[in-house]
């Protein structure tokens, strides 16, 4: 119960002021400790996607494998939402002191075209590209189209918007894959109507239920349904076939269209990471990438591994950024 | 704090107008006649209808004195300060989240509120607040890996 | 049956049992912390499971989530902060019962009926997984749209006071859900240029604010009579009275088990939606619907049963087709892949012993909940003996940490504050809070399924009735709406009471 006596209120405010002053002094005394060699405290690894997803799992295994060499904990922090905008911003705007890094993804080359953010690949210090999963073309098992060629021919013959496909949100990686494939086949990028979904699992479920004609997403994402005999993979938009699915041809083999697109993931820090940090992080990232644990883990999830050192990673992002922009203009998404 | 139904109705109408105005600026979806403005417009219509119903029912019943009726608590000066401390303290905690860090900020907030509710006794309130906030800070940061900011204490303890 | 014996051997092994015990305690702790959900418990466990053999890894996840869903009831009943979203539906009733000195009854009820729900869901999972998964796979966005809309009509049943205020509340929830990048076109709406708002208003901070922060403000502005909540509780056995409850509500328990499991099986809908829907059904079919929301045990029995049965149901599509039934199983699928137990119909042929092991683990985890939950109640009940002058500031700090933890952003704390003040104002003016929370939960689901269906149909509304299942669900939903509307009109024909609804503080 609150007691309301006459005087305590004055005493109370005075004592608060004293306490605040004392704490203030303490705060200043403790601020700015002398800097030692990086890293001397835990490192934060930001993931722009939700806990439990593929990007999150990749980040967590990388963090785990980096910890012993760095000697400090590497904490994976999920900053989700806004189709990746929030997390990518958090990485780019963090102080470039090496204590915040992130796992950036394909979307960094797409979001700015849509006008969702100003950020693009130049706002990061690339460390290493670690993975790229090529898009696949998936249809229902009872679909009349037995090959990617038959499907594309049918799309070509149909009026614009008759065919409907799904796989991600509007402007997401698998939407760009569809648009890019259509352009490479000599069609307008928006010839097939895109039905946005929250992810590949939702899109596949909707296709099995008869909602859309086909889905573009990575083949491992559809593995359980392929095993169940519910869906078929017609083609893979990669340079070569996937070892887990040797029967699925590449798009070039199936249709003669030379087009590749995949969703990639790479380690990066905010722009302007000091050399002291990159000199340690770049070789460490390579070591983690080469480790058996990492390769086994990625193989178990069906994720393809690709490595590129900082220079090549930057050139890769630049090239992807431009090609994605061209497709998004064709889709009517670019602002 | 009781607000007269008619006034709430007017607020809802304003909300509807704002939503509809904002939604008018949303681009249509490529290849479709509708777009992201569809659902906000439907909601705005709903707000407008409910707003009108509340205005009508509010005008029909004239029991409530003014447009805004403060509860009995607002007439006791102390309670207004209490609400100010709870809400204002939280605003300060948010503003100084990074520079102060969780432990310092939360301890101050808890100590001040507890002292206030107990009518003084700052020292004992502070000790309890410090112990409780330290336990929360440690538990969440170390056991549950929530990256609570540490402010000036960064690097001093994990 | 050799596979089943192998499965028993895999589960009843000291290491696995030890893991279950530890992860059970962990799940109880996480679930009881506001802002940390059962999904979070799973995500935090994943890195640890990297280093375990498959069966203990799955055992850890199953046990932790089951415990977390139950533990969400603890802070909900004791201090009106729902520990997880799955407890939000009945937090009002549970908290009022505690204030009436019924803490033992309400906590025991949460525990016992969680166990019953969990075991029922596990049995369904074991007996009929493949058939049910096949059925759930037939749902497209049209069917989901109708289901979500049907779920939304629950708001009408759960709201107390004047219907128009309940509708405003649900519209408010839906409107808040539209903030952020829109689910179909990817256009930012109502974000005012804020990067944080592109992610939308997170549901967890919103829920914490509207329930817990509003409760603190109400206490602060009240006369603050000393409420000796601890002394008022009837001491004794938490299990006492539960058998009587079961005998009193047998139909409710059966209905909630079935509905909860069914909602769990549907991909995308989980324990939280199951709790809301069964709470609404409970009120609709109750003999004393006027008591709901004012401290009535019936809704707690129903929704407390359903959220745990939904948990097991969600594993059905996850195991059979690799399609997550809720956010928890989305994480679980990843773990299954890592452990080489790739989900899909082949799991039946390739690893039958693992599949049986999962069933055994589910039943065992729910049985383990009885002693562990009893212990947790014993520990957490002590919260009531903390003097309110300390408890209230500490609840605020718990709200702050919980709102921060969900996305590791202080922006969440801001959301909690704003919606806390809003929630307090709403309650003062007779607007029920629960419908707003329901609108927030279902908002994005309704919009995205509505918009995707519209795109597929090229804007033709008739397409919502073209598929047989969709037509059936649509007719049912519209009938319920028409019936509610007629009822409301009939009621409004009678003279109107005083303008504001019942005020809770003054």
Contact C334 A204 (CB under 8 A): no
Mean pLDDT of A114-128: 92
The answer on pLDDT for C325 being more than 80 is: no
Contact B91 C417 (CB under 8 A): yes
Say what the pLDDT of residue C230 is.
61
Mean pLDDT, all residues of chain C = 84
C237: Cβ contacts below 8 Å, ≥ 6 apart: C104, C108
Which residues in chain A have their CB less than 8 angstroms from residue C408's CB?
Answer: 77-79
Rounded-to-integer distance, Cα B44 and Cα B21, Å? 10
Give the C window 140-199 contacts with B, CB below 8 Å: 164, 167-168, 171, 174-175, 178, 182, 184-185, 187, 189-190
Say what the pLDDT of residue B134 is.
93
Give percent of chain A above pLDDT 90.
55
* Interface check C186 vs A, CB under 8 A: yes
* Interface check A53 vs C, CB under 8 A: yes
Cβ–Cβ pairs < 8 A, chains A and B: 57
Task: Specify the DSSP element, H or E, that contains A128.
Answer: strand A124-140
Contact A16, B122 (CB under 8 A): yes
A101: Cβ contacts below 8 Å, ≥ 6 apart: A43, A44, A45, A46, A91, A127, A267, A268, A269, A281
pLDDT band at C152 (very low <50, low <70, confident <90, very high): confident
Which residues in chain B have their CB less than 8 angstroms from residue C505's CB?
Answer: 71, 73
CATH number at residue A67: 3.40.190.150
Contact B119 A331 (CB under 8 A): no
Q: How far is CA A19 from CA A2, B111, B112, C12, C62, in A?
A: 22, 11, 10, 57, 48
- In chain A, which residue's Cα lies nearest the Cα of B120? A12
Say what the pLDDT of residue C64 is.
93
The answer on pLDDT for C277 being more than 60 is: yes
Query: Tens digit of pLDDT per residue, chain B (158 long)?
Result: 778 888 999 999 999 999 999 999 888 877 677 888 999 999 999 999 999 999 988 888 766 556 677 666 666 667 888 889 999 999 999 999 999 999 999 999 999 999 998 887 889 999 999 999 999 898 888 877 788 898 888 777 65
Instruction: Kindly provide the ipTM of the predicted complex, given to two decimals.
Output: 0.92
Nearest to C42 by CA among C213, C270, C238, C300: C270
List chains adjacent to chain A, taking adjacency as at least 3 C-beta pairs closer than 8 Å. B, C
* Interface check C499 vs B, CB under 8 A: yes
A231: Cβ contacts below 8 Å, ≥ 6 apart: A138, A139, A140, A141, A204, A207, A208, A215, A222, A225
Name the residue facing C175 among B19, B73, B98 (closest C-beta). B19
The answer on pLDDT for C498 being more than 50 is: no
Name the residue facing C506 among B32, B36, B71 (closest C-beta). B71
- In chain C, which residue's Cα lies nearest the Cα of A296? C338
pLDDT band at A294 (very low <50, low <70, confident <90, very high): very high
CA distance to partner chain B, nearest, from residue A46 (Å): 11
The answer on pLDDT for C395 being more than 70 is: yes
* Interface check B151 vs C, CB under 8 A: no
Within 10 A of C203 (CB to CB), how many other CB atoms are there?
A: 22
* Interface check B25 vs A, CB under 8 A: no
Contact C394 B57 (CB under 8 A): no
What are the φ and ψ backbone dihedral angles of A129, each rounded to 5 degrees? -85, 130
Mean pLDDT of A138-145: 95
For residue A308, the cross-strand partners are A129
For residue A140, the cross-strand partners are A231
CA distance to partner chain C, nearest, from residue B54 (Å): 8
Contact B151 A27 (CB under 8 A): yes
Contact C103, C380 (CB under 8 A): no
Residue A194 lies in a domain: yes
Residue A235 lies in a domain: yes
Q: Choose between C116 and A3: higher pLDDT.
A: C116
Contact C453, C463 (CB under 8 A): yes
The answer on pLDDT for C400 being more than 50 is: yes
Rounded-to-integer distance, Cα B60 and Cα B53, Å? 11
Residue A215 lies in a domain: yes
Say what the pLDDT of residue A5 is.
37
Pair A54, A114 in one domain: yes
The answer on pLDDT for A17 being more than 80 is: no
Write the pLDDT tens digit of every residue in A59-113.
988 998 999 999 888 888 888 877 888 899 999 999 998 999 999 999 999 989 9
**DSSP-derived secondary structure for A165-209:** EESSSTTSHHHHHHHHHHHHTTS-TTSSEEE--SSHHHHHHHHHT
Pair A184, A270 in one domain: no
Name the residue facing B106 among C400, C417, C451 (closest C-beta). C400
Pair A180, A191 in one domain: yes
Task: Enter the tokens of residue A100.
Answer: 């915040």
* Interface check B152 vs A, CB under 8 A: yes
**Strand A124-140 to strand A305-308: parallel, antiparallel, or no bridges (unpaired)?**
antiparallel
- In chain A, which residue's Cα lies nearest the Cα of C225? A1
* Interface check C459 vs B, CB under 8 A: yes
Residue extents of the structural domains in chain C: 2-490
Give percent of chain C above pLDDT 70.
91
The answer on pLDDT for C409 being more than 80 is: yes
Buried b (16+ CB within 10 A) or exposed e, C168-196: bbbbbbbbbbbbbbbbbbbbbbbbeeebb
Residue A110 lies in a domain: yes
Task: Enter the tokens of residue C93.
Answer: 């009733």
Write the pLDDT tens digit of every residue in C328-373.
887 788 788 777 777 776 677 677 788 889 889 999 999 999 999 9
For testing the chain C interface, which of B48, B84, B90, B96 should be mutated: the one with the most C CBs within 10 Å? B90
Contact B46 C171 (CB under 8 A): yes
Last residue of a domain, one of A201, A235, A255: A255
What are the φ and ψ backbone dihedral angles of A136, each rounded to 5 degrees? -120, 165
Write the pLDDT tens digit of every residue in A29-39.
444 343 458 88
Rounded-to-integer distance, Cα B104 and Cα B129, Å? 10
Contact A81 C467 (CB under 8 A): no
Radius of gyration, CA atoms only, chain C: 22
Residue A4 lies in a domain: no
Buried b (16+ CB within 10 A) or exposed e, A146-173: ebbbbbbeebeeeeeeebbbbbbbbbbb
Pair A93, A191 in one domain: no
pLDDT band at A288 (very low <50, low <70, confident <90, very high): very high
Say what the pLDDT of residue C247 is.
85
Our count of domains for chain A comes to: 2
Contact A23 B117 (CB under 8 A): no
pLDDT band at C493 (very low <50, low <70, confident <90, very high): low
The answer on pLDDT for C376 being more than 70 is: yes
Pair A149, A251 in one domain: yes
Which residues in chain A have their CB less than 8 angstroms from residue C321's CB?
Answer: 205, 224-225, 228, 230
Write the pLDDT tens digit of every residue in C415-466.
999 999 999 999 888 898 888 888 888 888 889 889 999 988 888 889 999 9
- In chain A, which residue's Cα lies nearest the Cα of C198? A82
Burial of A95 (0-12, 13-18, 19+ CB in 10 A): exposed
The answer on pLDDT for C85 being more than 60 is: yes
Give the B window 114-133 contacts with A, CB below 8 Å: 115-120, 122, 126
Which stretches of chain B are DSSP H helices?
Answer: 5-24, 38-60, 72-75, 77-95, 97-100, 102-117, 122-138
Cβ–Cβ pairs < 8 A, chains A and C: 165
Strand, helix or coil for residue C72: coil
Pair A57, A143 in one domain: no
CA distance to partner chain B, nearest, from residue A332 (Å): 6
Give percent of chain A above pLDDT 70.
89
Task: Specify the DSSP element, H or E, that contains A10.
Answer: helix A8-30
CA distance to partner chain A, nearest, from residue C388 (Å): 8
Which residues in chain C have their CB less than 8 angstroms from residue A51's CB?
Answer: 39-40, 43, 46, 331
Pair A124, A56 in one domain: yes
Say what the pLDDT of residue A60 is.
86
For A139, the domain range is 134-255
pLDDT band at C501 (very low <50, low <70, confident <90, very high): very low
Say what the pLDDT of residue B76 is.
66
Name the residue facing C397 among B71, B106, B144 (closest C-beta). B106
* Interface check C429 vs B, CB under 8 A: yes
Least confident range of A23-37, A232-246, C87-101: A23-37
Within 10 A of C25 (CB to CB), how many other CB atoms are there?
A: 16
Q: Choose between A249 and C326: higher pLDDT.
A: A249
Buried b (16+ CB within 10 A) or exposed e, C257-283: bbbbbbbbbbbbbbbbbbbbbbbbbbb
Which residues in chain B have their CB less than 8 angstroms from residue A30's CB?
Answer: 152-153, 156
Which residues in chain A have their CB less than 8 angstroms from residue C407's CB?
Answer: 78-81, 86
- In chain B, which residue's Cα lies nearest the Cα of C456? B32
Nearest to C429 by CA among C162, C223, C204: C162
Residue A230 lies in a domain: yes
Name the residue facing B2 among C182, C217, C428 (closest C-beta). C428
The answer on pLDDT for C408 being more than 90 is: no
Q: Choose between B3 and A307: higher pLDDT.
A: A307
Say what the pLDDT of residue C231 is.
61
Contact B12, B62 (CB under 8 A): no
Pair A164, A222 in one domain: yes
- In chain C, which residue's Cα lies nearest the Cα of A110? C186
Cis bond upstream, residue A252 (ω within 30)? no
CATH number at residue A152: 3.40.190.10
The answer on pLDDT for A143 being more than 80 is: yes
**Strand A43-47 to strand A262-270: parallel, antiparallel, or no bridges (unpaired)?**
unpaired
Which residues in chain A have their CB less than 8 angstroms from residue C139's CB?
Answer: 205, 209
* Interface check B13 vs C, CB under 8 A: no
Contact C213, C424 (CB under 8 A): yes
CA distance to partner chain C, nearest, from residue A214 (Å): 13
CA distance to partner chain A, nearest, from residue B7 (Å): 35
Burial of C201 (0-12, 13-18, 19+ CB in 10 A): buried
Residue A31 lies in a domain: no
Mean pLDDT of C281-295: 86
Contact B34 C458 (CB under 8 A): no
Contact C445, C268 (CB under 8 A): yes
For residue A199, the cross-strand partners are none
Rounded-to-integer distance, Cα C450 and Cα C444, Å? 10
Name the residue facing A81 among C47, C180, C340 (closest C-beta). C180
For testing the chain A interface, which of C198, C335, C392, C466 should be mutated: the one with the most A CBs within 10 Å? C198
Say what the pLDDT of residue B64 is.
56
Contact C456 A85 (CB under 8 A): no
Which residues in chain A have their CB less than 8 angstroms from residue C181's CB?
Answer: 81-83, 85, 116
Pair A102, A49 in one domain: yes
Mean pLDDT of C103-114: 89
Task: Enter the tokens of residue C41.
Answer: 């418990």
Residue A126 lies in a domain: yes
């Amino acid at each position: 119960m609150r007691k309301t006596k006459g005087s305590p209120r004055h005493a109370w405010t005075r004592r608060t002021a004293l306490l605040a002053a004392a704490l203030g002094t303490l705060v200043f005394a403790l601020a700015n400790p002398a800097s030692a060699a990086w890293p001397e405290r835990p490192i934060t690894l930001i993931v722009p996607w939700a806990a439990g997803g593929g990007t999150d799992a990749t980040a967590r295994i990388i963090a785990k494998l980096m910890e012993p060499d760095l000697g400090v904990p590497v904490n994976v922090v999920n900053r989700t939402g806004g189709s990746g905008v929030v997390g990518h911003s958090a990485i780019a705007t963090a102080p470039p002191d090496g204590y915040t890094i992130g796992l950036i993804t394909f979307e960094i080359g797409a979001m700015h075209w849509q006008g969702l953010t100003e950020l693009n690949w130049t706002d990061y210090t690339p460390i290493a590209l670690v993975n790229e999963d090529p898009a696949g073309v998936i249809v229902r098992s009872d679909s009349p189209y037995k090959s990617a060629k038959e499907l594309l021919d049918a799309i070509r013959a149909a009026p614009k918007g008759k065919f409907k496909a799904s796989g991600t949100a509007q402007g997401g990686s698998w939407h760009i894959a569809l648009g890019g494939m259509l352009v490479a086949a000599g069609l307008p990028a928006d010839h097939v109507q895109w039905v946005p979904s929250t992810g590949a699992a939702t899109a596949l479920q909707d296709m099995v239920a008869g909602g859309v004609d086909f889905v573009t997403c990575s083949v491992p994402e559809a593995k359980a349904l392929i095993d169940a005999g519910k869906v078929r993979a017609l083609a893979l938009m990669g340079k070569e076939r996937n070892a887990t699915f040797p029967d699925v041809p590449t798009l070039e083999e199936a249709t003669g269209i030379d087009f590749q697109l995949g969703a990639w993931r790479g380690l990066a820090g905010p722009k302007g990471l000091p050399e002291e940090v990159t000199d340690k992080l770049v070789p460490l990232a390579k070591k983690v990438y080469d480790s058996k644990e990492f390769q086994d883990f990625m193989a178990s999830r069906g994720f393809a591994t690709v490595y590129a050192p900082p220079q090549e990673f930057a050139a890769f992002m630049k090239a992807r950024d431009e090609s994605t922009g061209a497709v998004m203009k064709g889709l009517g998404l670019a602002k | 704090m009781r607000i007269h139904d008619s006034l709430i109705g007017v607020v809802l109408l304003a909300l509807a107008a704002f939503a509809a105005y904002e939604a008018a600026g949303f681009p249509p979806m490529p290849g479709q006649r509708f777009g992201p403005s569809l659902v906000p417009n439907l909601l705005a219509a709903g707000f407008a209808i409910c707003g009108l119903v509340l205005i009508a029912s509010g005008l029909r019943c004239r029991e409530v004195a003014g447009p805004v009726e403060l509860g009995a608590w607002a007439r006791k000066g102390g309670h207004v300060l209490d609400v100010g401390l709870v809400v204002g303290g939280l605003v300060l905690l948010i503003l100084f989240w990074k520079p102060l860090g969780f432990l310092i900020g939360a301890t101050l907030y808890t100590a001040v509120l507890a002292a206030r509710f107990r009518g003084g006794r700052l020292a004992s309130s502070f000790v309890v607040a410090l112990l409780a906030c330290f336990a929360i800070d440690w538990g969440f940061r170390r056991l549950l890996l929530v990256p609570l900011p540490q402010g000036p204490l960064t690097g001093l303890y994990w | 049956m050799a596979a089943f014996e192998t499965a028993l051997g895999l589960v009843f092994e000291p290491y696995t049992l030890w893991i279950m015990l530890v992860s059970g305690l962990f799940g109880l702790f996480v679930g009881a912390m506001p802002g940390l959900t059962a999904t979070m418990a799973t995500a935090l466990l994943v890195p640890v499971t990297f280093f375990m053999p498959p069966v203990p890894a799955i055992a850890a996840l199953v046990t932790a989530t089951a415990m977390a869903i139950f533990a969400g009831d603890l802070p909900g009943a004791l201090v009106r902060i729902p520990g997880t979203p799955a407890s939000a539906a009945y937090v009002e009733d549970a908290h009022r019962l505690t204030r009436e000195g019924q803490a033992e009854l309400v906590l025991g009820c949460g525990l016992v009926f969680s166990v019953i729900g969990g075991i029922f869901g596990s049995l369904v999972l074991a007996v009929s997984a493949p058939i049910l998964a096949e059925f759930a796979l037939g749902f497209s966005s049209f069917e989901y749209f109708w289901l979500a809309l049907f779920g939304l009509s629950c708001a009408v049943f759960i709201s107390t006071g004047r219907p128009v205020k309940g509708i405003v509340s649900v519209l408010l929830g839906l409107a808040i859900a539209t903030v952020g990048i829109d689910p179909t076109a990817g256009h930012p709406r109502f974000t005012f240029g804020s990067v944080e708002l592109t992610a939308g208003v997170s549901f967890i901070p919103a829920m914490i604010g509207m329930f817990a922060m509003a409760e603190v403000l109400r206490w602060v502005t009240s006369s603050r009579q000393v409420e000796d909540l601890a002394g008022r509780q009837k001491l004794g056995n938490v299990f006492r009275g539960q058998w009587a409850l079961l005998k009193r509500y047998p139909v409710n328990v059966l209905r909630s088990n079935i509905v909860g499991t069914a909602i769990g099986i549907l991909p995308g809908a989980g324990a939280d939606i199951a709790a809301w829907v069964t709470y609404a059904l409970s009120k609709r079919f109750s003999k004393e619907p006027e008591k709901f929301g004012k401290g009535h045990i019936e809704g707690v029995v129903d929704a407390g049963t359903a959220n745990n049965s939904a948990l097991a149901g969600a594993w059905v599509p996850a195991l059979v087709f690799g399609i997550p039934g809720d956010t928890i199983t989305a994480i679980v699928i990843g773990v299954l892949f890592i452990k080489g137990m790739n989900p899909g119909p082949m799991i039946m042929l390739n690893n039958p012993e693992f599949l049986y092991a999962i069933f055994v683990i589910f039943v065992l985890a729910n049985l383990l909940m009885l002693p562990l939950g009893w212990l947790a109640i014993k520990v957490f009940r002590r919260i009531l003996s903390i003097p309110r002058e300390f408890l209230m500031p500490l609840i605020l700090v718990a709200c702050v940490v919980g709102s921060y933890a969900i996305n590791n952003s202080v922006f969440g704390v801001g959301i909690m504050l704003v919606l806390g003040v809003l929630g307090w104002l709403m309650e003062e003016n007779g607007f029920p809070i629960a419908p707003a929370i329901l609108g927030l939960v279902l908002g994005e689901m309704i919009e995205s399924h509505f918009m995707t269906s519209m795109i597929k149909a090229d804007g033709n509304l008739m397409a919502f009735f073209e598929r047989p299942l969709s037509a059936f669900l649509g007719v049912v939903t519209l009938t319920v709406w028409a019936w509610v509307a007629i009822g409301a009109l009939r009621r409004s024909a009678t003279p109107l009471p005083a303008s504001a609804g019942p005020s809770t503080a003054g």
